[in-house]
Amino acid sequence: MFIIKIGGSIITDKSIKDSFKKTVVDRLSAEIKKADEEIIIVHGAGSYGHIPAKKYNLNQGYKNNEQTLGFALTHANVQKLNTMVLNSLHENNIPAVSIPPHAIMELDDHEPTDMNYDIFRDLLKQGFTPVTFGDVILDKKLGFSICSGDLLMQLLAEQFEPEKAIFVIDEDGLYTSNPKTDENAEFIETINLERLKQLSTPFDNHADVTRGMKGKIDTIKNIVNLGINTVLLNGNKPDRLYKVLIGEKTKCTTVNRS
Amino acid sequence: MFIIKIGGSIITDKSIKDSFKKTVVDRLSAEIKKADEEIIIVHGAGSYGHIPAKKYNLNQGYKNNEQTLGFALTHANVQKLNTMVLNSLHENNIPAVSIPPHAIMELDDHEPTDMNYDIFRDLLKQGFTPVTFGDVILDKKLGFSICSGDLLMQLLAEQFEPEKAIFVIDEDGLYTSNPKTDENAEFIETINLERLKQLSTPFDNHADVTRGMKGKIDTIKNIVNLGINTVLLNGNKPDRLYKVLIGEKTKCTTVNRS
């Protein structure tokens, strides 16, 4: 089985409010269907979540009453995005059922507490494809905060020990430095945990409310440390997700433990 | 605190696929806001749920693979309805947050098993208005079945012991027989549990996948039996919900234990 995180920048234009990239999501849905594997999907909140979450400053926790409505608005907006992702999966005959994180877990000062994994397990057993997503969530200490898709990837990987954890992003994979700002950045095909640790610093600079690439690298370290191979691939390039799912060679970065 | 069930026939036209009654829902949202009480909302799935659930025969449990996609499609469609209800509540400044039943409970041969009430409690504590809804759900024995809004009313009433359980329906309340088919039907202002038991039979005839009025009467008996006063009122008539919430006299049926 595989756990796939489809990044918010792949399914939306992160700089434009409520901009769903239906063509890209439809193609990725078709690739997932064609691969015909047991899969859990995590998707980012993209512009549907990040823009209102930033506006109401939700990741800092409860400060004023206006944020309460802001939390509610943000969740409903992410639920709208989730419905569009579900519709695309259904159009490709994937029986996807969503599980919003706020209904199955809470955080405590940004740290996860008990999560209900049974619903994922029972949905899989019944032949469904569980879909969860980055969203706003209650936090025991802060009132509320944000549960990122990357955090969900880590928790689900720990629990389900997939064959691979796959991050579908808007770059071909990892580079020696940020390819968006450094033309000398070199692409990395395979990297081990030790080398990844030395690499993490250059990726700090496109952070968002969920800590951007720095947070993602930390998540990947934690997943790989469990002995789960992790792949980063470009979701804007056709067939790369499909090829990784069926074990064929394609452009991507593979992170191994040793 | 109050628990309000807004019937599927109030928020949709049950005979027409995906027909959301925005004007009615907006008015009810405004009435709830004006009353300014602690509230849990349950809404029906209406035509968004009943039409596909019937098409795929979901309440009978798993029979064939086609139903798996049918379950997924039905849930996504009910989630779409739920997002519209949330939007209406938000436009009226109610910080409504949804909790889909399939994420917090399973059934076992239609009977509820452990439900996670903590998320309702924690949302209320943080100043939110929890919203749940009738939907498709996993069933340990049957694979899947349907969790009606009425069942959710009963479970939440047991757990939270509200001041009143309120059913917002498309009739003024209860009658001595079915007012839609019998012109001699007499309106009932107040009724006790004993008399309600004698009344239940005439209401069998507008059943849907969740057993229609017969199921509702059974639910009401169970709630009233806990000592919780239950009110049925017409959601198509302005101000009735508001008046019941603030304790003013209006046309409705009140069911008391004795």
Which chain B positions have a beta carbon within 8 Å of A75's beta carbon?
97-98
Span B145-173, mean pLDDT?
96
Give the amino acid at B258: S
**Chain A contact for B207, CB < 8 A?**
no
Q: CA-CA distances (angstroms) from residue A1 to A25, A151, B84?
A: 21, 19, 35
Q: Do A123 and B138 touch (CB under 8 A)?
A: yes
Q: Do B62 and A126 touch (CB under 8 A)?
A: yes
Q: CA-CA distances (angstroms) from residue A78 to A181, B61, B110?
A: 30, 30, 31
Name the percent of chain B lying above pLDDT 90: 83
Q: Do A98 and B80 touch (CB under 8 A)?
A: no
Mutate which of A56, A66, A67, A75 to disrupt the B interface (most B C-beta within 10 Å)? A75
What is the Cβ-side half-sphere exposure of residue B205, based on CA atoms within 13 angstroms? 7
Q: CA-CA distances (angstroms) from residue B68 to A36, B64, B176, B209?
A: 15, 8, 41, 18
Per-residue pLDDT at A114: 84
Which chain A positions have a beta carbon within 8 Å of B71's beta carbon?
95, 97, 128
**Chain B contact for A38, CB < 8 A?**
no
Q: Mind listing the pLDDT tens digit for each residue in B95-110?
A: 999 999 999 999 999 9
**Chain A contact for B108, CB < 8 A?**
no
Q: Do A79 and B75 touch (CB under 8 A)?
A: no
Give the amino acid at A17: K
Helix (H) or strand (E) holding A147: strand A143-147
Determine phi and psi for A94, rounding to 5 degrees.
-100, 120
Which chain B positions have a beta carbon within 8 Å of A80's beta carbon?
83
Helix (H) or strand (E) holding A2: strand A2-6
pLDDT band at B52, cuts 50/70/90? very high
Span B205-222, mean pLDDT?
70
- Write out the two tokens for A54: 């930033």
Residue among A75, A87, A104 whose CB faces B97 most closely: A75
Contact A147, A107 (CB under 8 A): yes
Span B148-169, mean pLDDT?
97
Mutate which of A77, A79, A99 to disrupt the B interface (most B C-beta within 10 Å)? A79
Beta bridge partners of B27: none
Per-residue pLDDT at B199: 77
Burial of A66 (0-12, 13-18, 19+ CB in 10 A): exposed
Mean pLDDT by 10 residues, chain A (258 residues): 97 92 98 98 96 91 93 97 98 98 96 93 97 97 95 97 97 86 90 86 49 78 96 98 98 95
Rounded Cα–Cα distance for residues B81 and B107 (Å):
23
pLDDT band at B12, cuts 50/70/90? very high
Q: Mind listing the pLDDT tens digit for each residue in B186-198?
A: 999 999 999 988 8
Could you tell me what percentage of chain A is helix, strand and coil, using 3-state DSSP and rounding each to the nearest 5?
Answer: 45, 20, 35
Which chain A positions have a beta carbon within 8 Å of B127's beta carbon?
65, 68
- Write out the two tokens for A85: 């992702």
Task: Order across the sheet with A111-112: list the strands.
Answer: A111-112, A107-108, A135-139, A143-147
Per-residue pLDDT at B200 exceeds 70: no
- ipTM entry: 0.92
Span B78-93, mean pLDDT?
98
Angle between helices A46-55 and A66-91 (to 10 degrees): 180
Rounded Cα–Cα distance for residues B63 and B93 (Å):
44
- With CA atoms as reference, the chain B residue closest to A96 would be B72
Q: Do A126 and B68 touch (CB under 8 A)?
A: yes
**SS3 assignment, position B99:** coil
Span B224-244, mean pLDDT?
97
Tell me how close the Cα of B63 comes to any Cα of chain A, in angstroms: 12
Mutate which of B116, B120, B135, B138 to disrupt the A interface (most A C-beta within 10 Å)? B138
Give the amino acid at A34: K
Contact B81, B48 (CB under 8 A): yes
**Residue showing tokens 């579900």:** A86
- Residues ≥6 apart with Cβ < 8 Å to A60: A142, A145
Tell me how close the Cα of B113 comes to any Cα of chain A, in angstroms: 13
Phi and psi based region of residue B161 (left: phi greater than 0; alpha: psi -120 to 50; beta: remaining): left
**Chain A contact for B201, CB < 8 A?**
no
Question: Within 10 Å of residue B33's Cβ, how many Cβ atoms?
Answer: 17
- With CA atoms as reference, the chain B residue closest to A100 would be B103
- Write out the two tokens for B193: 């549990």
Per-residue pLDDT at B179: 77
Span B116-143, mean pLDDT?
96
Which chain A positions have a beta carbon within 8 Å of B144's beta carbon?
126
- Inter-chain Cβ pairs, chain A and chain B, closer than 8 A: 108
Q: Do B122 and A106 touch (CB under 8 A)?
A: yes
Helix (H) or strand (E) holding B224: helix B212-225
- With CA atoms as reference, the chain B residue closest to A141 would be B126
Q: CA-CA distances (angstroms) from residue A174 to A14, A47, A187, A204, A206?
A: 20, 23, 6, 13, 14
Rounded Cα–Cα distance for residues A149 and A147 (Å):
7
Q: Mind listing the pLDDT tens digit for each residue in B31-49?
A: 999 999 999 999 999 999 9
Length of chain B: 258
Rounded Cα–Cα distance for residues A69 and A55 (Å):
12
Which chain A positions have a beta carbon within 8 Å of B83's beta carbon?
76, 79-80, 83
Per-residue pLDDT at A208: 47
First to last CA, chain B: 22
Rounded Cα–Cα distance for residues A120 and A56 (Å):
31
Q: Do B97 and A73 touch (CB under 8 A)?
A: no
**Chain A contact for B43, CB < 8 A?**
no
Per-residue pLDDT at B206: 47
Tell me the pTM.
0.94
